[in-house]
Structure formats: structure tokens, C-alpha cells
Amino acid sequence: MVKQYIPFRKTSKGESFDVPAEAMFIQQDGKQQALEELVLGYQTLQVTGRELIKYNIAEESVEGRGGTLFRNATLPSRDIKVKYLLQAEDEFKFREQYNTLMKVLSAQKLLFNFNDEREFFFTGTLSNVDEVDGGLLSVISSFTIHCPDPYKYTEPKTVQLTNNQKIDDPQLIYPTIPDKIVLNGVSGHGVIKNTKTGMWIGVSGSGSISLFPNTGGSSVDSNNIDYLSYLEYFTIENGDLITLENAASISIGYRRRLL
């Protein structure tokens, strides 16, 4: 089947660009802009590496029995390859456009998404580029962005809960480590527990206490936290029941993620 592309069109100031559904958008300075908007004469042709991703399976042979024994399965990193067309009016414009493209892609932690899924963002680094033939003003080539984390994430979201409340977010379908947890109205030894996973964190203090599971940090001395090492294992997903002890309420900040 021949894939149909939306033609790139240069417009006058104030008008929008027609960009393909797979166009790559870069987030910088709080704005999302398509490469078609940032680099004159650029057009996305094809993107691969965003689809299904297979597990790396660890297994071992057991003497005296057939097959293998499953140990664990982990997700590998992800490589996203973008095929593009770049056209220029003359040699000087051609060089200028490639300089601009390199500048746009040069961030070591590039935050980007795609036109057909603007809510979710990948983070990666330019890891490979195809060689471009010389002497041309219209080339088709590709580059690869390596994403150590295979997941794509939304912007931060916060939920407020009291004791014995469930997390209600149908789009939170994968266990996710929160960016921030704030226990409000702590009196003495406050405890938050996810009854589904059994993981819990206890804090000692008063007032509001902040925890940062992704980094292992907190707003209180580590001596006032029970099972600090469990912070990195404290996950949430849709339907999880959260209980509190000696705390009035809790706010959980997190980002949805998908593969």
C-alpha cells in the first residue's frame, strides 16, 4: 500500500503549517513546534519505533527437564527513527537549514512528541544519522532518537484523596511512580498505604510533608521516614485504594505513561 503524505506548504505569517500526522514536535521554552515549522523546507515522511515493543526475557535451563525456567522480563530502551525530506533553494540555504535542524535536535535530553499523539512525550538523545549525499538540494534521509525510557508520558497531573479513596483515572493503566506525594494534616506518625500493592510509607512530623518517590527525596529528615527505600517502589494505577493514618488528606502528582 502506498502511504499518502500531506504536502508541506509554506504559509504567510500568522497562518498554520500543514504537517503530516506523524510530524515530530519539539518542546522548548514551554512551546510545542513541529520540525516543519522550525526548519524551512523540512517534511516528515515516516516514523518507526513507536509501535509494539518486546520484552527482554531472562530464563535458564534446568537439568533433567525440558524447556526453560522463566526468571523475569524487562523492557528494553526504545529507538525512534524519523525519515524526512529536506529541500532548499540554493547551497547556502541548504547548509543553513541543516544547521538549524542540528541545533533543534542537539539537546541531550530532547523532549518531543508527534502530531497524532500530542498529549504524550518521549525523552531521548540523537543517536544516529544517515549519511546525506553531496551536491543535492533535495534529499531524503533519516535520524534516530534513542530513548532510554521506552515509555511516553503526559504532562503532570495531581489528584486529591482522603482516607479509603480510590484513584480514579481510567488512563492510568500502567503502575506509575508518583513525582510527588504530599501528606496534609500529619499528626505524629502519618502513614500512606496502597492496599493493592501492600507498599506503605510512614513519616513522622506535623503539618504538610512532601515526598518525591522518583528521586527519593522529602521535605523532612530521612530519619523521620520509615522504609525510605520503598519510595522508589511505591506505585499507583487506576482503581488502587489508598489508606491514610494520622493524616487528613493526600495529594499525588504523577504523569500518565504508555508504551
Q: What is residue 72's predicted lDDT score, i.e. its pLDDT?
A: 92
CA separation, residue 38 to residues 10, 18, 28 (Å): 12, 13, 11
Which residues face 78 on adjacent strands? 147
CA 83 to chain centre: 21
Q: Which of 49, 48, 45 has the alpha carbon at shortest distance from 20? A: 45
Spatial CB neighbours of 216, under 8 Å, sequence gap ≥ 6: 228, 231, 232
Q: Of 19 and 117, which is predicted with more confidence?
A: 117
Extract the C-alpha cell encoding 239. Answer: 482503581
For range 33-44, the mean pLDDT = 93
Task: Using the predicted structure, report yes or no on whether residue 149 has a pLDDT greater than 90.
Answer: yes
**Using CB atoms within 10 A of its CB, is residue 82 exposed (0-12), middle (13-18) or buried (19+)?**
buried
Q: What is residue 17's predicted lDDT score, i.e. its pLDDT?
A: 52
> Quick check: 128 and 83 in contact, CB under 8 A?
no
Q: What is residue 205's predicted lDDT score, i.e. its pLDDT?
A: 77
* Residue 222: pLDDT band with limits 50, 70, 90: low
Q: What is residue 15's predicted lDDT score, i.e. its pLDDT?
A: 41
Q: What is residue 16's predicted lDDT score, i.e. its pLDDT?
A: 47
> Please, what CATH class does the domain formed by 24-150 belong to?
mainly beta
CATH topology of domain 157-258: Jelly Rolls (2.60.120)
Q: What is residue 130's predicted lDDT score, i.e. its pLDDT?
A: 93
Extract the C-alpha cell encoding 202. Answer: 510512614
Q: Indicate the domain borders of the chain.
A: 24-150, 157-258
Which of 131-140, 166-175, 200-209 has maximum average pLDDT? Answer: 166-175
Extract the C-alpha cell encoding 171. Answer: 488512563
Task: Using the predicted structure, report yes or no on whether residue 181 has a pLDDT greater than 70.
Answer: yes
Mean confidence (pLDDT) of the chain: 85
CA 224 to chain centre: 32
Q: Encode pLDDT of 85-116 as tens digits.
A: 999 988 899 999 999 999 999 999 999 999 99
- Equal fold, 24-150 vs 157-258: no
